A = this chain, B = another copy of it.
Amino acid sequence: MKVRERLREMGLSVTSLHDVSNMSRAIEEAKVIFVGGGNTFRLLKGLEDSDLLNPIRRKVAAGVPYIGSSAGCIVACPTLKTTKDMPVVQPNSFEALGLVPFQISPHYLDPDPASTHMGETQEERIMQFLEENDSPVVGLREGSILRIEGDDVTLKGPNNARIFRRGEQPIEAAPGSNLGLLLEKATAVVGSAA
């Protein structure tokens, strides 16, 4: 609702998939695809159940811009494995749209040194992800945007992003940086046998 009003103020009209009977056709005719927030598991299961993953992948491959916020930003990644949402429903698979070759961890919160909370921090959770998976992860703080065109991944907004790669110390990237190279998946290095 908020999205529709904001975009109307900008002169754009929004067709919500929740309101149309033929969702695939609505995607076929879209000039831009926007996927907002909510529970990531429910979102991915909804996309699975409505058979929308491939239609969205095809449109984006054909050049239609995709804008994702929060859960909508995670489902653009290879999997939903960096969500912080509760797994309130079980999708068939954790595989998501895979529009980009890395994972995003939005709403990134820095550890609070004053906290008495015993649960893991977001950084610790991402480290667990990297123990099991080798996609790089961008910890995206509130107010940050990644603008992706071709191989360029530009960090916009007021804050640094935190970049996590398997087996490496996390690094901070400044606004305006092109993170493209940082976010390439680690390629296997074939060493010469000793």
A78 to chain B minimum Cβ distance, whole angstroms, is 13
A184 to chain B minimum Cβ distance, whole angstroms, is 21
The 8 Å CB contact of A142, one of B87, B88, B117, is B117
Question: Using a CB-CB cutoff of 8 Å, which residues 56-112 of chain A contact chain B?
Answer: 70, 80-90, 93-94, 106-107, 109
Given A117-B107, A118-B70, A118-B107, residue A86 in contact with residue B142 (CB < 8 A): no
Question: Using a CB-CB cutoff of 8 Å, which residues 127-154 of chain A contact chain B?
Answer: 128-129, 131-133, 142
Complex: A132 Cα to B86 Cα, angstroms: 11
- List residues of chain B with CB within 8 A of the CB of A156: none
- List residues of chain B with CB within 8 A of the CB of A116: 142
Complex: A83 Cα to B125 Cα, angstroms: 12
- Chain A binding surface, main DSSP class: loop
* B118 contacts A142, C-beta separation under 8 Å: yes
* A86 contacts B125, C-beta separation under 8 Å: yes
- List residues of chain B with CB within 8 A of the CB of A82: 86
Complex: A188 Cα to B68 Cα, angstroms: 39
Instruction: Please tell me the number of chain A residues within 8 Å of chain B, measured between CB atoms.
Output: 33
- List residues of chain B with CB within 8 A of the CB of A41: 87
* B109 contacts A117, C-beta separation under 8 Å: yes
A26 to chain B minimum Cβ distance, whole angstroms, is 25
Complex: A93 Cα to B91 Cα, angstroms: 10
Complex: A84 Cα to B119 Cα, angstroms: 9
- Additional A-B contacts beyond A70-B119, A81-B88 (15; CB < 8 A): A39-B125, A41-B87, A80-B87, A81-B87, A82-B86, A84-B84, A85-B120, A85-B128, A86-B125, A88-B128, A88-B133, A90-B94, A106-B119, A107-B119, A109-B117
9 residue pairs A–B, Cβ–Cβ below 8 Å: A41-B87, A81-B88, A83-B86, A84-B119, A85-B128, A88-B129, A88-B132, A89-B132, A109-B117
